[in-house]
Amino acid sequence: MTQQDIQASSDFIREIIDEDIKINKHSGKVATRFPPEPNGYLHIGHAKSICLNFGIAKQYKGTCNLRMDDTDPAGESLEYVDSIIQDVRWLGFDWEDRLFYASDYFEALYAFAIQLIKAGKAYVCSLTADEIREYRGTLIEPGQESPYRNRSIEENLDLFARMRAGEFEDGTHVLRAKIDMASPNIVMRDPVIYRIKHAPHYRTGNKWVVYPMYDFAHCLSDSIENITHSICTLEFENNRPLYDWIVNQLIDKNRPRQIEFARLNVSYTVLSKRRLIELVENKYVAGWDDPRMPTIAGMRRRGYTPDAIRNFCGKIGVAKNENLVDVSLLEACVRDDLNEKAPRAMAVLRPLIVIIDNYPDGQIEKIKCANHPQNPEMGTRTVPFSKRLFIEREDFEENPPKKYKRLAPGKEVRLRNAYVIRFERLIRDEKTGEISAIHCTYAPETLNGPPSDDRKVEGVIHWVSADQAIQAEIRLYDRLFNVPNPAAYEGEFTTSLNNNSLEVVTDAYVEASLKNSAPGNSYQFERLGYFCVDIKDSSPNKPVFNRIVPLRDSWGKIAGR
RNA sequence: UGGGGCGUCGUCAAGCGGUAAGACACAGGCCUUUGGAGCCUGCAUUCGGAGGUUCGAAUCCUCCCGCCCCAGCCA
């Protein structure tokens, strides 16, 4: 392990764990959990938490459970559970047989609640929701005790049993922890721990009409699972005293410890569940797996790799600072991974026809191309070459700017993997005035080497053989929003949506070797970027490629300024 | 005006009293049959501010300033 790896893999949470191991807390064991609520799809922010929790478990030879935190039937569903399972697995993590559901603990949690009542530490409160809010006080004023606070244990037990039995309407009673209505921490002002909800749960059906609240269920679920380090995000810091309070009342050994870290934000996108749902429901995107979405499903379809995402999660670090990570770091990780793994191919997005005047009519040459210029082990393929080719429209300029290295009147360029060609003349569409074809000549000796007189040819452009190339649809994706931090945007966040985040190119051509490429396969289209065969819409008859990320383009920068 | 957190390069982030890592971004250069990749160089005399302690402070102390979270029967 290099110095860099050591530094990259340490953070304040691991330091805490190191300390705990040193004092032999939990007999030196480490057990974490990733606890999503199945009411939405996982996104890159969850990926950070997944990498953290599973990463720590692996590093310390401990375990990480996958737990559905499904204590509120509203909005939770099997569809989300399935997607979560698929996404965590796709990211490369394994919880073995430890897939758990908070809803499986309902009976145990109910028993814990009774225990709390019996200890005189919880009571049934019959105030309305509005009244409870009023009694809670404000940030600067203490709350008032509920008139129901001193009900007898027997009455509480009876009422709580009848709550479970379904005798009461929603909102008529709740179970509250008896803590301190004057606490400066509002969370501690007799928090509600059970509420009545006559709503079917996607797993327990109609068995329950009372459901535990997060603060009650989470710490006890952790305890039930013998979690040692319960890692969550910063907004739960206020809840930690309550977490500890409940655990201290009900658990007497191996109490878990909650540790909070800063959630991830990424520039030019949104990561809050509410906003993501809005994008999907109002059809700003095509679904949870729209390649522009920061969801795991979206990134998977876009062609991002698990390795790239995991690497990104390692690079951003773990701390308690509010952050807005530059999306270019994510893109750099994707390029980094794909540069190594993606075989090269050629494709032309905006075709311009080139006719090689001195190339024999009807001849088709099989040109051997390396699948990866730096890695011979990736082998070679054969690409047809003929008299009629497509090149990229922007690779020809009638009046080239300075430093332009591509094809232009009087100039030569190298066709990638093939010959050097020289511009001869251009054909113009009489009606539109647009250039409709370019005539060139080729230098036959240049296939595997420089021109015979060693004259220098600077530019290299990509091409496909016009008659053998396969027509394809190529979807060019760009960032979803125009502003770095859409969540902070004054007004409706959707107004800063990038209207050009998807451009569909229907008349693109890819080289013939891509004919039967499997959905999900990724390639580098040379000089353009990384592309993958769309897993949903692509078919052999109508191939569809997604642009995963463009190549770094230093010419674009020069030309753009 | 309560409580809890956080302030180190444009963005993340190391640093844990001995004189500011690294990554991305950015800017130059080398190389190149991808203007890709790779390689090299540059990029915080300063750590929110002001005092103080110390031979020595981003690290300790005091005060101040700024930002985030908490008043769901959501998580």
Q: Is the pLDDT of residue A6 over 70?
A: no
Together in a domain, A185 and A65: yes
Name the residue type at position A132: I
* Tens digits of residue pLDDT in A365-422: 999 999 999 999 999 999 999 999 999 999 999 999 999 999 999 999 999 999 999 9
Question: What's the pLDDT score for residue A4?
Answer: 36
Q: Is A268 inside any structural domain?
A: no
pLDDT tens-digit map of A506-533: 999 999 999 989 999 999 999 999 999 9
Kindly name the residue from A14, A37, A189, A301 that is annotated as catalytic: A37
What per-residue confidence (pLDDT) applies to A559? 87
Domain boundary among the residues A462, A492, A515 is at A462
Could you give the percent of chain A with pLDDT greater than 70? 98
Q: Crossing angle of helices A327-341/A306-316, nearest 10°?
A: 140
CA distances from A319 to A30, A83, A259, A262, A332 (A): 20, 28, 11, 6, 22
Q: Are A149 and A103 in contact (CB under 8 A)?
A: no
Distance A141 CA to B63 C1' (A): 27
Instruction: Kindly state whether residue A467 falls inside one of the protein's structural domains.
Output: no
Does residue A1 surpass a pLDDT of 90? no
Q: Which range of residues forms the domain containing residue A420? A: 347-462
- Which of A263, A291, A317 terminates a domain? The answer is A263
Q: Are residues A244 and A295 in the same domain?
A: no
This prediction's pTM: 0.96
How confident is the prediction for chain A on average, in pLDDT? Answer: 96
User: Do A177 and A251 reside in the same domain of the chain?
Assistant: yes
What is d(CA A450, CA A469) in angstroms, rounded to the nearest whole number?
A: 27
Residue A163 burial by CB count (10 A; 0-12/13-18/19+): exposed, middle or buried?
buried
CATH code, domain with A102: 3.40.50.620
A361 in a structural domain:
yes
Same domain? A387 vs A286: no
Q: How far apart are CA A411 and CA A228, in angstroms?
A: 69
Same-domain status, A437 and A330: no
- Separation of CA A240 and C1' B70 in angstroms? 12
- Give the model confidence (pLDDT) of A117-160 as tens digits: 999 999 999 999 999 999 999 999 999 999 999 999 999 999 99
Closest amino acid to nucleotide B24 (CA–C1'): A329
One domain for residues A231 and A336: no
Asked whether residue A528 falls in the same domain as residue A546, the answer is yes
Which of A344, A390, A391, A387 is closest to A365 using CA atoms?
A: A387
Q: Are A414 and A457 in the same domain? A: yes
Q: What is the largest CA-CA distance in chain A?
A: 103
Give A255-269 as a DSSP string: --EEEEEPPP-BTTS
Nucleotide nearest to A232 (CA to C1'): B75
Catalytic residue status for A37: yes
Tell me what the mean pLDDT of segment A456-481 comes to.
Answer: 97
The A99-101 sheet, strands edge to edge: A31-34, A63-68, A99-101
Residues A503-532: b if buried by 16+ CB within 10 A, e if exposed: eeeeebbbbbbbeebeeebbbbbbbbbbbb
Nucleotides of B under 7 A from a protein CB: 1-8, 10-16, 21-27, 33-38, 67-75
Candidate from A5-14, A176-185, A537-546 with smallest mean pLDDT? A5-14
Gyration radius from chain A CA atoms: 31
Structure tokens at A514: 């891509």
Least confident of A2-11, A297-306, A311-320, A496-505: A2-11
- At A561, is the pLDDT very low, low, confident or very high (cuts 50, 70, 90)? low
Rounded CA-CA distance A493/A316 in Å is: 25
What's the whole-number mean pLDDT along residues A235-254? 97
Determine the average pLDDT of the residues in A153-181.
98
pLDDT (tens digit per residue) in A13-64: 999 999 999 999 999 999 999 999 999 999 999 999 999 999 999 999 999 9
**CATH number of the domain within which A301 lies:** 2.40.240.10
Pair A161, A25 in one domain = yes
**Three-state SS for A444?**
helix
Question: Among residues A416, A437, A462, which one ends one of the domains?
Answer: A462
DSSP A95-141: -TT-EEEGGGGHHHHHHHHHHHHHTT-EEEE---HHHHHHHT--SSS
How far is the C-alpha of A185 from the C-alpha of A219, rounded, in Å? 18
Burial class (CB in 10 A: 0-12, 13-18, 19+), A322: exposed
pLDDT(A115) > 80: yes
* Each residue's pLDDT tens digit, A533-550: 999 999 999 999 999 999
- C1'-nearest nucleotide to the CA of A401: B35
Using the predicted structure, report yes or no on whether residue A454 has a pLDDT greater than 90.
no
DSSP A398: S
> In this prediction, what percent of chain A has a pLDDT beyond 90?
94
Domain tally, chain A: 3
Give Cα A509 to chain centroid, integer Å: 30
pLDDT at A7 over 90: no
Specify the pLDDT at position A49: 98
* Placement of tokens 């929701």 in the chain: A129
Per-residue model confidence (pLDDT) at position A2: 37
pLDDT at A5: 39
> Is the domain of A333 the same as that of A194?
no
Q: Is the pLDDT of residue A3 over 60?
A: no
Q: Verify that A291 and A251 share a domain, yes or no.
A: no
Dist CA A203 CA A537 (whole Å) = 33
Residues A282 and A372 in one domain: no
Residue A491's pLDDT is 78
- How distant is C1' of B5 from CA of A227, in Å? 24
Could you tell me which of A48, A55, A52, A91 has the C-alpha nearest to residue A300? A91
Count CB atoms within 10 A of the CB of residue A434: 10
pLDDT at A9: 60
Residue A103 in any domain: the answer is yes
Range from A9-13, A128-132, A237-241 carrying the lowest mean pLDDT: A9-13
A263 assigned to active site: yes
A344 is catalytic: no
> Which residue reads 């990733």 in tokens?
A34
Residue with tokens 């949506």: A497
Residue with nearest Cα to nucleotide B35 C1': A555
- Predicted-complex ipTM score: 0.97
Catalytic site residue from A98, A149, A273, A416: A273
pLDDT digits (tens, 9 = 90+) for A287-316: 999 999 999 999 999 999 999 999 999 999
Q: Where are the alpha helices (DSSP H) in A260-326?
A: 273-281, 296-302, 306-316
Which two three-digit tokens encode residue A51?
Answer: 């990498």
Q: Which nucleotide is nearest to A37 (CA to C1')?
A: B75
Given the DSSP bridges, would you call strands A529-533 and A544-550 parallel, antiparallel or unpaired?
Answer: antiparallel
Q: Is residue A438 assigned to a domain?
A: yes
